[in-house]
């Protein structure tokens, strides 16, 4: 299956345009001669070197072959040493190496294979066997590279699709509520910024961004009439709204590869003083990522237009974080939010 499609086209193009290239290093001039004849006849491009010095020059010129054929025993340097040099140079690390050996020494073979040689060919070699084994090794490496590239492209596409699916889901949640347009993506961005300032790694930042995007996904299960009600909510209506955190967690816990998504949804309305919902967790009982999303979520609620008020003045938002640090919010993340507000001198960080 990997020989089909894109990679097959690439390979056809390669076959048409480029000759296979080989570098042979051997102090035995007869062996070099025979090898040159074999590979010339096969239409391959080659460099035929008889010492470690010539080998070093070839590397300095950055000549990149499809395969190295190295004699194990040479007067100035061993084939094993040349292999070690190749494996230490990033450009040459993945080019296959076959050893030429005259002895029957099993130890040499095992050391060579351990150091990363692909194969051994015993001297004196037959032209046919030499060509066949060299071509097989080159073809195997090419298939391996094609597969690795195909996997890389597919993985990239999949992770891109994952982000887009999550964004689409977040947008569909926001679309239910005519007053919270773009809320989820703003909360995701604020949560990412807070976590970044708190020292989270890149991988953790990607994760908290996704948690932010999906923190309100449970609103899918709440009637539009309640979500969009302009006047004061009844106790029952408020209770229904509060259900969105556990509804969201129930939806997201089905995504078992990303358990953190359900954490963000379930606990983003918990309060540091234990007076939040749905579980009334207190302080560090609340997962840290959920404490960060709680800060980001409340910040966005205050800095976007609602049915009952427009964007709050920046001073009032700042005062609210000072007043509620250690009560509603983890003081550590409230302080980071206050720092972000102070740096936002022309109040850009709000709903457009
Ligand atoms: Fe929420």
φ/ψ (deg, to 5) at 91: -70, -25
| pLDDT of 210 strictly over 90 | yes
The CA 245 to ligand 1 mean position distance, Å, reads 6
Q: What is the mean pLDDT of residues 5-18?
A: 49
Q: What is the C-alpha to C-alpha distance for residues 260 and 208, in angstroms, rounded to an integer?
A: 8
| pLDDT of 1 strictly over 70 | no
The CA 140 to ligand 1 mean position distance, Å, reads 54
Beta carbons of 195 and 292 less than 8 angstroms apart: yes
My answer on whether omega of the bond before 268 falls inside 30° of 0, hence cis, is no
Element (H, E) at 45: strand 45-49
Element (H, E) at 49: strand 45-49
**Quick one: pLDDT at residue 19?**
87
| pLDDT of 184 strictly over 60 | yes
The CA 168 to ligand 1 mean position distance, Å, reads 18
| pLDDT of 66 strictly over 70 | yes
Q: What is the mean pLDDT of residues 155-179?
A: 90
Is residue 102 very low, low, confident or very high in pLDDT (cuts 50, 70, 90)? Answer: confident
Q: Which pLDDT tens digit goes with each residue over 281-306?
A: 999 999 999 999 999 999 999 999 88
The CA 189 to ligand 1 mean position distance, Å, reads 15
Q: What is the C-alpha to C-alpha distance for residues 58 and 77, in angstroms, rounded to an integer?
A: 15
**Quick one: pLDDT at residue 179?**
75
Domains observed in the chain:
5-151 (3.40.50.2300), 177-343 (1.10.3210.10)
Lowest mean pLDDT among 78-82, 118-122, 229-233, 263-267: 229-233
Q: Is 219 a catalytic residue?
A: yes
Catalytic residue among 33, 132, 219, 242: 219
The CA 264 to ligand 1 mean position distance, Å, reads 10
**Quick one: pLDDT at residue 17?**
56
The CA 285 to ligand 1 mean position distance, Å, reads 19
CB proximity list for 220: less than 8 A, separation 6 or greater: 172, 173, 176, 247, 251
């Amino acid at each position: 299956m990997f020989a089909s499609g894109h990679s097959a086209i690439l390979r056809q193009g390669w076959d048409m345009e480029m000759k296979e290239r080989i570098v042979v290093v051997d102090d035995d001039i007869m062996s070099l001669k025979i090898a040159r004849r074999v590979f010339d006849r096969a239409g391959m491009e080659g460099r035929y070197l008889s010492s470690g010095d010539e080998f070093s020059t070839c590397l300095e010129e950055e000549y990149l072959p499809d395969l190295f054929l190295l004699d194990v025993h040479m007067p100035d340097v061993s084939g094993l040493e040349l292999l070690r040099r190749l494996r230490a140079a990033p450009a040459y690390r993945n080019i296959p190496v076959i050893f030429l050996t005259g002895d029957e020494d099993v130890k040499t073979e095992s050391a060579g294979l351990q150091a990363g040689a692909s194969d051994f060919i015993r001297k004196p070699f037959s032209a046919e066997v030499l060509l066949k084994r060299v071509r097989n090794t080159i073809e195997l490496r090419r298939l391996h590279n094609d597969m690795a590239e195909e996997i890389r492209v597919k993985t990239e596409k999949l992770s891109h699709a994952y982000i887009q699916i999550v964004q689409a889901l977040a947008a569909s949640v926001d679309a239910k509520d005519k007053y919270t347009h773009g809320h989820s993506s703003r909360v995701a961005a604020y949560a990412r910024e807070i976590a970044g300032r708190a020292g989270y790694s890149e991988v953790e930042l990607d994760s908290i961004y996704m948690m932010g995007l999906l923190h309100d996904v449970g609103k899918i299960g709440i009637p539009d009439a309640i979500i969009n009600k302009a006047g004061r909510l009844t106790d029952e209506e408020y209770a229904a709204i509060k259900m969105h955190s556990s509804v969201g967690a129930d939806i997201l816990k089905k995504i078992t590869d990303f358990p953190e998504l359900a954490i963000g949804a379930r606990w983003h309305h918990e309060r540091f003083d234990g007076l939040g919902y749905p579980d009334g967790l207190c302080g560090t009982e609340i997962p840290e990522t959920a404490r960060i999303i709680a800060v980001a979520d409340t910040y966005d609620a205050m800095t976007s237009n609602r049915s009952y008020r427009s964007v709050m003045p920046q001073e009032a938002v700042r005062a609210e974080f000072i007043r509620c640090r250690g009560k509603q919010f983890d003081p550590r993340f409230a302080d980071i939010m206050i720092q972000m507000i102070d740096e936002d001198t022309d109040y850009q960080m709000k709903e457009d």
